[in-house]
Amino acid sequence: MTLIRIEPAARLTGELTVPGDKSISHRAIMIGALARGKTTVNNFLASADCLATIDCLRKLGIRVEGRGTRVEIAGKGLTGLTKPAGPLYVGNSGTTIRLLSGILAGQNWPVEISGDDSIKKRPMGRVARPLREMGADIEGQGSRVKGQEEIYPPLKINGGNLKGINYLLPVASAQVKSAVLLAGLFAAGETSVTEKVASRDHTERMLAHFGAKISVQGPVARVQGKEEFDAADVEVPGDISSAAFFLVAGLIIPNSELRITNVGVNPTRTGIIDVLHRMGADLTVENERIDSEEPRADLTIRSSQLKAIKLDGAIIPRIIDEIPIIAVAATQAEGVTEIRGAKELRVKESDRLKTTAAELRKMGAQIEELPDGLRITGPTKLRGTMVESYGDHRIAMAAAVAGLIAEGDTVVNNTDCIETSFPGFEKLLKSLR
């Protein structure tokens, strides 16, 4: 078990880049595997989660080569995957198991897919239900939650002979939407997904980049099944969810100024920028451009006096991964910050509402766990102590940033999990002092 020891920081300055976007990296190699020909992905996130996706694709007969941030995928088209010799293992990657389930639902052979202990606690009924409606047979470890059947990994998927459906997403989820759209590539006819609240749209953009038959009109995404598409090179931007930790660090540590280059600013992901602006952040967005269908820009953050805000409704899916670090910012904001409508956080790598509240409370924060959110009163002086990550990379990194403004040293336990999204986080954080 590894740990990070954080000392208080007087200031942070410098220019940095953050690793490639995790969501985009996953999708680039999955869709590249289904395209015809060689796809090259640059600035690929070589994290534990994305490497788990590569491992699964190799077991499905796809040749994936490369080192570090440059990866080549020899795509075989929609009919090129082959039955693996044994179960597929996704490690700790919820994105891998949910998106790959959509692809596996389109195959004419049975397969089992599972992951680590954390993955085995992640609900999969929300993915299984629409895929079953399309014609796939999906079984898992069952239980009932509030009278409704729920299933958990390992999943046994027996797919093929799918038909297109029109699916209304009950709860905003880019992973469920993506699983249905990816299954739709193999289905007869058209598959559509309608969202009540917009979630991240990387799958739609990536499919368009590869030339798949996809259209998006308002809240509805439509994909035409059984239409082949060709390989396309992908330039992955820096992950704004990773940049968020440094944006908040630069905000709450006095006399700081950080410039983060080549960060993805997809409108479905820039909720963190909107939230920090509302809190009073001196945050500028410059040099905006588009590559591989994805917008990107350079961000500059300076120390700022923050004020409390209320967060609820449509903003929540756009900040769902950033809420732990927003909570850290809220401990230094004047007034009461309230976050509601974020019950989805209870089924992440940890129950992030419970774990965020518990660990910040250890550090002296005035934070209350709500059924669907958090209530934080600030500003509060934090104190260094020993905190736990619960094997959750975002909890570990949020705690590390909190340690930068705490009195005394902070020790974050069990930080191996950071490798799932941000290799080199500790080294980069300490280089900016």
Q: Give Cα 243 distance to the centre of its chain.
A: 13
The DSSP bridge partners found for residue 253 are: none
Residue 375: which residues within 8 A CB-CB, separation 6 or more?
336, 337, 338, 339, 367, 368
Q: For residues 134 and 161, what is the distance between their CA atoms, to the nearest angstrom? A: 9
Reference 195, options 168, 176, 214, 223; nearest CA is: 168
- Asked if 422 and 389 count as a contact pair (C-beta separation under 8 A), the reply is no
CA separation for the pair 241, 222 (Å, rounded): 27
End-to-end CA distance of the chain: give it in Å, rounded: 26
Three-state DSSP class for 365? coil
- Sheet with 294-302, side-by-side order of all strands: 13-16, 257-264, 294-302, 282-291
Identify the three-state secondary structure at position 94: helix
- Ramachandran region of residue 83, left (φ > 0), alpha (ψ -120 to 50) or beta? beta
How is residue 281 written in tokens? 């952040």
How is residue 91 written in tokens?
A: 């490690």
Dihedrals phi, psi of 247, to nearest 5 degrees: -60, -45
Measured from the Cβ of residue 10, the count of other Cβ atoms closer than 10 Å reads: 10
Contact in structure between 58 and 87 (CB atoms under 8 Å): no
Separation CA 143–CA 136 (nearest Å): 20
Round to whole Å and give the CA distance between 13 and 303.
10
Q: Which residues are tagged catalytic?
A: 321
Q: Give the bridge partners for 72, in sequence order.
A: 40, 65
Cα–Cα distance, 357 to 324 (Å, whole number)? 9
The candidate with the shortest Cα–Cα distance to 266, out of 94, 57, 27, is 27
Structure tokens at 304: 């700022």
Q: Name residues whose C-beta falls within 8 Å of residue 117's C-beta, 6 or more positions apart in sequence.
A: none
Instruction: Tell me the C-alpha distance between 312 and 293, whole Å.
Output: 29
Burial of 172 (0-12, 13-18, 19+ CB in 10 A): buried
